[in-house]
Structure 1
């Protein structure tokens, strides 16, 4: 148990020395990660021609605990009745919050995996 605590302390100290801190996410906004360092600008990528029955999921940066890592865009099989929301980084008070992408059935902008009311009848 002591070894685990020491390892965690050393890891946290190394993150802070890099100028980045991963902060626990609040349950309210459901971000995956909060980082103090802004993500790099998105990379330009070639989007292949449209494919019937598929949706283009654009490339994006994710935080791996130490740095940003680029995930290239790809086609995903479309889901009938759902809208795909791409992952995004939002800046709030000098911190960058990663909002996971996903499939949204009621088109309210909240992926169903994180939506308390995924079939909200009062959506706009």
Structure 2
């Protein structure tokens, strides 16, 4: 394979890697106060092949806003870890929900 062809392929691979990097970036959310107590939700009937992602408080425009729970398609071999708030000194940081093995 000519050197110019190898360099061209390398250039395409590097460009693709940088183009895809923002797709995996997560926004860090920090709130100055603790979230309100969780709301009690009435769970809808179970759905086969789905897991329940419970509601949570979202920090938006300087205030907490409740976001209701919803069903999320299950992933074989994984369990859903719901998002949650963690105290960091005097502030609170949001930890996104994620799949864990």
TM-score (norm: length of structure 1): 0.56
Q: Which is greater in Rg?
A: 2
Greater strand proportion: 2
Secondary structure at 1:47's aligned position in 2? coil
Which stretches in structure 2 are left out of the alignment for 5+ residues? 1-25
Shift of 1:31: 7.5
Question: RMSD across aligned C-alpha pairs, in angstroms?
Answer: 1.7
For 2:27 and 2:86, locate their aligned partners in 1 and report how far apart those are by CA, in whole Å: 9
Deviations 1:27-82 (A, max 9, x none): xxx88211111111111110122211110000001111321111101111101122
More helix by proportion, 1 or 2?
2
Question: Aligned partners of 2:92, 2:72: CA distance in 1, in Å?
Answer: 26
Q: Which residue number in structure 2 is paired with residue 82 of structure 1?
A: 78
Unaligned runs of 5+ in 1: 1-29, 107-124
Higher normalized contact order (CA 8 Å, seq sep 6+, divided by chain length): 2
Partner residue of 2:62 out of 66, 75, 82:
66
Is residue 65 of structure 2 the alignment partner of residue 103 of structure 1? no
| TM alignment of 1:1-124, pairs within 5 A | 32-104=28-100, 106=101
Q: How many residues align?
A: 76
